[in-house]
Amino acid sequence: MLRFLLRRLLVALPTLFLVVTLAFFMMRAAPGGPFETNRKLPPEVEQNLKAKYGLDRPLGVQYLGYLANVARGDLGPSLKYPDRSVLDIIRQGFPTSLRLGVSALTLGGVLGLCFGVFGALRQNSPADYAITTLAVLGVCIPTFVTGPLLVLVFASWLGWLPTGGLDDVRGYVLPVVVLALPQVAIISRLTRAGMVEAMASNHVRTARARGLPERSVVLNHALRGAVLPLVSYLGPAAAGLITGSLVVERLFTLPGLGKAFVVSALQRDYTVVMGVVILYASLVIGLNLLAEVIQSLLDPRVKLS
Amino acid sequence: MRPLLAAFAALGLSALILAGCKPERPLRASCPAHSLCLEAGNVSEPVSLDPPKTTGTWEDRIMGDTTIGLTQSSAAGRPVPGMATSWDVSPDGLVWTFHLRKALWSDGVPVTANDFVFSLRRLMDPRTASEYAYLLYFIRNAEAVNEGKAPLSALGVAALDDHTLQLTLTHPVPYLPEIGKHQTFYPTPQHVVERWGDAWSRPEHYVSNGPFKLARWAFGDHITVVKNPLFYDARSVCLDQIDYYPTSDAIAAERRVRRGELDTNADIQSNRIAFLRQPDQIPAYVHTHTYLGVAYLAFNSRDVAAFRDRRVRLALDMAIDRDFITRKLLRGGQVPAYTFTPPAVANYQPPPPPVWAGWPIERRQAAARALLAQAGYGPGHPLKIEIKHRNSPDPTLFMPAVQADWKAIGVTATLAQEEVQIAYQDYRLRNFQVGDAAWIADFNDAMSFLGLQQSQTGAQNYGDYDNPTYDALLAKADNEPDLGKRAAYLAKAEAIMLADAPVAPVYFYITKNLVNPNVTGFVDNAVDQHRARYLCFKGHGAAAPSGE
């Protein structure tokens, strides 16, 4: 196990390096720049700005300098928010996105698992069809539709919840539900498929033949195998969720990282984009690794190699 | 299945709990007892609250509440005395002496003329890399200082004593009181900036001289300012606290204003204005006013041979049905533009619109066709062009109308959309034939508009207009200390430019504010400045600000 982890971490470094390199040059290849707006700056002003952030040096030098800084854990200053470093921006946006993402993932996971197991056990019953239909709807209807609909009903009509902002815990309810809905759908579909397969498998038949109670058969024997595909889905899905969603953050005016990321890409705030890319890539790598470890713990057939 | 039951039970329970707490009043942010808090939608997140590092109106809306410049905005957006109570101008208009009032920073230290000297030098210091520094290049040696070719001490600004500030200019700037309230002129506290460096603008160090002081900045969430008891006119300030929210989504902000979660929002999505004004919607909330901005089309006369012919440009200019665009498409109260400078500009009267502006559209089309025929274009040899436009909502809405207007005079135009930033970059590189652009004035003066078509403007003179008479008139205006004479030179120049049609103005922008009718003291104005020191809530009168 330890050897496996060490080896994967060693592989992760070149992967990260590649991501950073690609992102750096793609960002610079995009037309425009951080100081270009509809106002053309006088050359001396633009020169002052570029000199301040080292953007007047050759691209290769900037790249090497950036790599050296990142290796030291310094993601640089934001080009658009002169008072803030990239770390400041991540530190301020990430907790909100993390809270929202983890809550949505938990809600989606619990509901999705329940629905999935229920559907698989009552295969082709009306309840199963109802859950399947809901799941298909949940996947198909995008958050920018469900979000305003829920706001309309629960905030504008019923007045139970605020339409936006995070002034207290009630502010979290709608964004979390909107983020969780597609997860409920996908997770219930994955669980149902896995459960149907597992219930027909030899080890479940053996368990039943040994006369184990149905509850133990389902929870201890079938479910363990059934959640394997779910675990490999959840790794990258979690990375996406906890780094924030532009749509939900805009819709509910939340101070998360998703909005910061897209806005900085549009404004060509190179350093902020790079910082978020590095964070996201590290999370994807880390969570995928975690998913593999969990899989090996759940299923003895999965070997870490 | 027990987990399922439990989940349903939990859901049902939470629904009950939520149902139980249906509020009578809107869910507003917390406000200290017996205080008046304004919840203000500010559209965007400020990049900084350090004046020389900002260029946005969303930064100025906050800094304008915490800071008072040489002059300041009245409730109606006009310049009135600020830190300077009066000023003297030398006969040649080049030396301005400002007499400053006795006032304190929010930490109790007196505001002096030295703070202004320090702030202006810091603005021009190349190491500050201020984007807006060029606005004050009219101060003597400012450009050289900003380029790093002259020491900071060479800047034409001096403190004669603690309360007398002297500015020396390179040319007369009779609109100095107007630009004196601009964010580039905001004083920064020397003693604080020298102590903390660039970190001085963090909430824990921020010190200001205005009616409010910075209390909290939750990045991306909200910024809170509270009443500054040391402000020189603190007793006239009604509000105790203001929370500014970066409401980047205008529709979401509209919902929050409707629900009473926000009191104001500084933007409305254009195509919602007509809807919101319906009697069963929120007509009393909708505020619009002519703004200092113009939407226009530029003709690339450098690379498109047809556009070097004035008759072609004029024909295309004439054929645009601006009434249709403003009344039927935009519907927010935008004003058709037949001049480049909006009528709301201070100290200026735009020239009368061209005669054809009053003709019915059929007559204009006939005249345009005749002009095109003279230039050699007609059914046998039609003019084919491409219009490049920004992909933002308004241009996307009205550009097909322009396309149809030009089709009516036999011109085939295709449309190409681009991301806003990319479009402007293409215009600067002249990588376009017809370009859709907009200009919002930096400050309330005609020069901010007419300077665009000066030949020396270069990249941003998208139409490459180059008329020595025009340039000479602008130069003459720049050297004229008398506001009236200056306005006459500028109007003459504008008339000449409009007749040449290097650009076709389409409509003037409007200010778009949603304001809860409970908020008092909100006055619509052309500069869209609504300082919170004048605002209050119904039933909570405050003494009128002094010095008005």
CA distance B295 to B287: 20
CA distance B141 to A97: 49
CA distance A34 to B47: 13
Domain of A107, in residue numbers? 87-298
> Do the Cβ atoms of B32 and B48 come closer than 8 Å?
no
CB < 8 Å to B202, chain A: 83
Cβ of A45 and B129 within 8 Å?
A: yes
CA distance B320 to B350: 20
Angle at A80 between CA A39 and CA B528, to 5 degrees: 55
* A232 and A128 within one domain: yes
Q: Cα separations (Å) of B336 from B327, B405, B434?
A: 9, 15, 19
Both tokens of residue A26? 């793609």
pLDDT digits (tens, 9 = 90+) for A269-286: 899 999 999 998 999 888
Residue whose token pair is 């580039």: B184
Gap from B478 CA to chain A (nearest CA, Å): 19
| Mean pLDDT on A90-101 | 89
> Do the Cβ atoms of A203 and A258 come closer than 8 Å?
no
CA B494 to centroid of chain Cα atoms? 21
Residue type, B338: Y
> Do the Cβ atoms of B457 and B471 come closer than 8 Å?
no
pLDDT score recorded for residue A299: 78
Instruction: Identify the segments of chain B with pLDDT beneath 50.
Output: 1-5, 13, 15-24, 543-544, 546-548
pLDDT digits (tens, 9 = 90+) for B495-526: 999 999 999 999 999 999 999 999 999 999 99
Among A39, A71, A103, the domain-final residue is A71
B409: three-class secondary structure by DSSP: coil
* A52 and A106 within one domain: no
Cβ of B245 and A159 within 8 Å?
A: no
* A39 and A118 within one domain: no
Neighbours of B260 (CB within 10 A): 14
Confidence of residue A38 (pLDDT cuts 50, 70, 90): low
Q: Is A29 on the interface with B (CB under 8 A)?
A: no
> Do the Cβ atoms of B412 and B443 come closer than 8 Å?
no
Cβ of B425 and A260 within 8 Å?
A: no
* A91 and A49 within one domain: no
> Do the Cβ atoms of B208 and B504 come closer than 8 Å?
no
Q: Which CATH architecture is the domain B36-263+516-548 placed in?
A: 3-Layer(aba) Sandwich (3.40)
Ordered by start, the domain boundaries in chain B are 36-263+516-548, 289-510
- Rounded to a whole number of angstroms, the distance between the first and last alpha carbons of chain A is 9
pLDDT score recorded for residue B41: 95
pLDDT digits (tens, 9 = 90+) for A190-241: 999 999 888 888 888 888 888 888 888 888 888 888 888 888 888 888 888 8
CA distance A271 to A27: 10
Domains: count for chain A: 2
* A155 and A286 within one domain: yes
pLDDT score recorded for residue A180: 92
Residue type, A237: A
Residue whose token pair is 């079938």: A222
Q: Is B147 on the interface with A (CB under 8 A)?
A: yes
Neighbours of B88 (CB within 10 A): 11
Q: Is B9 on the interface with A (CB under 8 A)?
A: no
Among A71, A104, A121, the domain-final residue is A71
Fold match between domain B36-263+516-548 and domain B289-510? no
Which residues are bridge partners to B411 per DSSP?
B383
* A109 and A61 within one domain: no
pLDDT score recorded for residue B387: 96
* A211 and A91 within one domain: yes
- B16 vs A88: which has the higher pLDDT: A88
* A34 and A113 within one domain: no
CB < 8 Å to A81, chain B: 47-48
Is residue A55's pLDDT more than 90?
no
* A100 and A37 within one domain: no
Which residues are bridge partners to B386 per DSSP?
B414
Both tokens of residue B512? 């778009």
pLDDT digits (tens, 9 = 90+) for B258-289: 989 999 999 998 889 999 999 999 999 999 99
CA distance A138 to A133: 8
**Maximum average pLDDT range among A49-63, A147-161, B116-130:** B116-130
* A92 and A67 within one domain: no
Which of A37, A84, A163 has its CB closest to that of B261? A163
CB < 8 Å to B250, chain A: none
Dihedrals phi, psi of A256, to nearest 5 degrees: -100, 180
CA distance B436 to B389: 5
Which residues are bridge partners to B438 per DSSP?
B295
Confidence of residue A112 (pLDDT cuts 50, 70, 90): very high
- A43 vs B59: which has the higher pLDDT: B59
Residue type, B168: T
Q: ipTM beyond 0.90?
A: no
Find the helix or strand (DSSP H, E) in which B540 lies.
none
pLDDT score recorded for residue A293: 86
* Per-residue DSSP letter, A85: B
pTM equals 0.83
How many contiguous H segments (helices) and E segments (strands) does chain B have?
A: 16, 19
Closest C-alpha among B147, B302, B402 to residue A44: B147
Q: Is residue A12 a part of any domain in this protein?
A: yes
Both tokens of residue B140? 């003597």
> Do the Cβ atoms of B247 and B264 come closer than 8 Å?
no
Q: Is A85 on the interface with B (CB under 8 A)?
A: no
A27: three-class secondary structure by DSSP: helix
Which of B22, B29, B248 has its CB closest to that of A167? B29
* Domain over B289-510 is classified CATH 3.10.105.10: yes
What CATH number did the domain enclosing A285 receive?
A: 1.10.3720.10
* A66 and A26 within one domain: yes
